Amino acid sequence: MYELALEPGALPRYTKTSRGIGSLDPVRTRVLLWHLSQLGMTVAEGRALIAQHGMDVEQVLRRVHYERTVKGGVDAHGREITHWALWTTKALKKQWTFDEPEYLSWLDRQSARFALAPAREAARIAPAGEPAAAMGDPESLPSLELPSDDVWGWTLRELSEEIGEIQLRTWFAATWIDEVVENAVTVGTSNAFAADWIRSRWGERLEEVLSRRLERPVRLHVVSHSGAVPLP
């Protein structure tokens, strides 16, 4: 017998925005369409953009992530960017280039960080009948390099001693910041169990530190993207 529990949360929204993205699409296309849908585009609009601009879409999506998480989502004049779908379309049509040394350095750090994510996940999942690494020798856990260029990295650094090295390496190794908006911070993880554990065990404390750092009350949302890592 099985019991099905439906609870309010982010999953229905992600399910809705994923409609029209089929299993016959290449994996990379599905990833791009999903990211574009989170910016407010329909699947049809996303397909048209990919058909016209190809993999340039991926490059602009990386820049969008940088602008939203590192730069705070404001333009050169300090005004909040509210229409990211329009910003993305404009960047592609005008063929904006992103070659500032600061940004290129950030890309290198992101690529190096997430290249290790599959190995970190594999270290957590033990063969059938064997205990998980988290329950075994601490030396078998993946190493964790906390990012220093976004609010999530700053928050984890502040709480690192409080949380403890083992728990950081076990549950926070494959986490990243998805989005920062006025009253919410969304963090992604490729481990569904980690998402539940972070919310239940450290949710309130993380919200407290995030709110202080952002100088406004914010809620923390932890979303599981099973088996995935964000665009670096």
Helices (H) and strands (E) in the chain, counts: 10, 3
What predicted TM-score, i.e. pTM, was given to this entire model?
Answer: 0.50
CATH architecture group of domain 138-232? 2-Layer Sandwich (3.30)
Which amino acid belongs to residue 95? Q
pLDDT tens, position by position, 16-54: 445 555 555 677 788 888 889 888 898 889 989 998 998
Give every CB contact of residue 5 below 8 A, 6+ residues apart in sequence.
Answer: none
pLDDT tens, position by position, 104-138: 888 877 766 655 554 444 444 444 444 344 434 44
Task: Pull the structure tokens for residue 94.
Answer: 């005008």
Q: List where CATH 3.30.300.180 sits in the chain.
A: 138-232
